[in-house]
Amino acid sequence: MSRWPLLCVALLLGACGSNTPEIPPELLGGGAGDAGAGYPPGPYSQTLGGTVDNLKFRGWLDPKAAGYAPDALEEVQLAQLFADPGARLLVLNTAALWCQNCKIEHRELPSHLSVLKPRGLRWLTAIAEDASRSAAKPSHLAAWGTEFKSDHPLVLDPEYSLGGSDRAALAPLNLIVDPKTMRVLRVFEGNQASVMWPYIEAELDARQ
C-alpha cells in the first residue's frame, strides 16, 4: 500500500490552517473551572434555560479602582458575582469595539445602573473583538473602560465564551441570569433596549 495517502493525512492534520485568530495564552481566562463550594452544579450551557458555568476571564472586577491599567488585569470569575449577597439579577454582556449598538448601549448604561444597581442589578461586560473584528487585547479593554468610565466588572473574552463565534455578529449579546441559580432567563441579541430594560425592571420588581 502506498504511503502517500497516509502522508497527506498527516500533513492535513499537522499543518491545516484556521481562520480563527491566535490568542495569546495570557489573555485567556482559562474557561471554566472549579467554582468552589456552593456554585450550581452542571451540566452547563450559556443558552436559554441553561446554567452558566463558572467562566474565568482576565480583566477587572473594579475597573475604576484599577485605573483601567492593562498591567493590572486580574482573574475574574462568575463565582464572584454568584457570591454577591445583594445581587437580584445579573446581566452578562458581550460587546465589541466595532459594534455601534454596543457603544450606544454603554453610553446609556450609567443612567440605568445608577437606578437599578441599588435594587440588585449586577452587570458584567466582556469585550470580544477590536474594531477590525480581531480578538480583543488589554489595550482595547483599557480604551473601552476609559471611554465609557466603566465601574462594573469589565473583562476580555477573545474566545467569545459567553456566546459562541457563530453569534459574534449579533453583538451586543445580553444574557439575563438569575444570580442565585446562574440560570439563563432571557437572551437578547442586537439592539433590543426597548424590550430588555422593561424586562429587567419587571424581574427586579418580582425579586424584591
102-152: pLDDT as tens digits? 999 999 999 999 999 999 999 999 999 999 999 999 999 999 999 999 999
Contacts of 25 (CB under 8 A, 6+ apart): none
CATH 3.40.30.10 for the 43-206 domain, yes or no = yes
Q: What's the CA gap between 70 and 32, in Å, rounded? A: 23
- For cell 465564551, the residue is 161
3-class DSSP assignment, residue 198? helix
168-201: pLDDT as tens digits? 667 899 999 999 999 999 999 999 999 999 999 9
- Do 29 and 73 form a contact (C-beta atoms < 8 A)? no
